[in-house]
Amino acid sequence: MLTPIKCGLLALSLPMCLAACASKPVAELAPLPPPIETVAVYRDLPDSLRHPCEEPVWAPDDIVTDVDLLGLLNRYRLADACNAAKLEAIDRIYRMGEHQASTG
């Protein structure tokens, strides 16, 4: 419990503590980093990269044997590989532009 004497000592010591804190040098704040701005960059793509590769067209009557099914699966794999190659080419075009922007 606080007695009047303790309250008086506390009241006297508080201004001294505040004065001691105020007399210390203020540390300089670190400068703020520059803001990061994101900018959309559009690049021209060749017409051949603008459309996906054609997927195979088939009817259930086309699949008679397991060899027919394997042939159809192979055509799907080729279409997937073609699309992956197009995406890699687009990625190279964009990365080449990033490289030119960072060095230029």
HEC states along the chain?
CCCHHHHHHHHHHHHHHHHHHHCCCCCCCCCCCCCCCCCCCCCCCCHHHCCCCCCCCCCHHHCCCHHHHHHHHHHHHHHHHHHHHHHHHHHHHHHHHHHHHHHC
Q: What is the value of pTM for the model shown?
A: 0.53
> Which residue type sits at 27?
A
In a domain, 48, yes or no: yes
pLDDT of residue 64: 93
Residues 61, 16 contacting (CB under 8 angstroms) = no
In a domain, 93, yes or no: yes
| Domain membership of residue 64 as a residue range | 44-104
In a domain, 51, yes or no: yes
In a domain, 25, yes or no: no
In a domain, 72, yes or no: yes
In a domain, 4, yes or no: no
In a domain, 33, yes or no: no
Query: How many structural domains are present in the chain?
Result: 1
In a domain, 94, yes or no: yes
Q: pLDDT by residue for the chain (104 residues), tens digit each?
A: 567 677 666 666 767 666 666 555 667 788 888 998 888 777 788 888 999 999 999 999 989 999 999 999 999 999 999 999 999 999 998 887 665 555 55
